Amino acid sequence: MSLLIYCSTLEDQDIDTVTTVVRSWCETHNISPESECGRAAMIAAVNCVTAAEKRQSRYMGL
């Protein structure tokens, strides 16, 4: 399964950011992005971006 499935709800710019950060993190730690740990890093990164977008949209609604 492609890791990009986790990014399906993100904007293109956010997908680029998440994949770049996760790829860099995986390279630094000698971990395959397709490994369980690499997938967990991708999910964590997507969750962080999604949470930030939700916070921003709440503040914009005030």
pLDDT reported for residue 58: 66
Mean pLDDT in residue range 23-34: 96
pLDDT tens-digit readout, 36-62: 999 999 999 999 998 877 776 666 665
CA dihedral 46, 52, 57, 59 (to 10 degrees): 170
pLDDT greater than 90 at residue 23: yes
By C-alpha distance, which of 42, 41, 34, 36 is closest to 15?
42
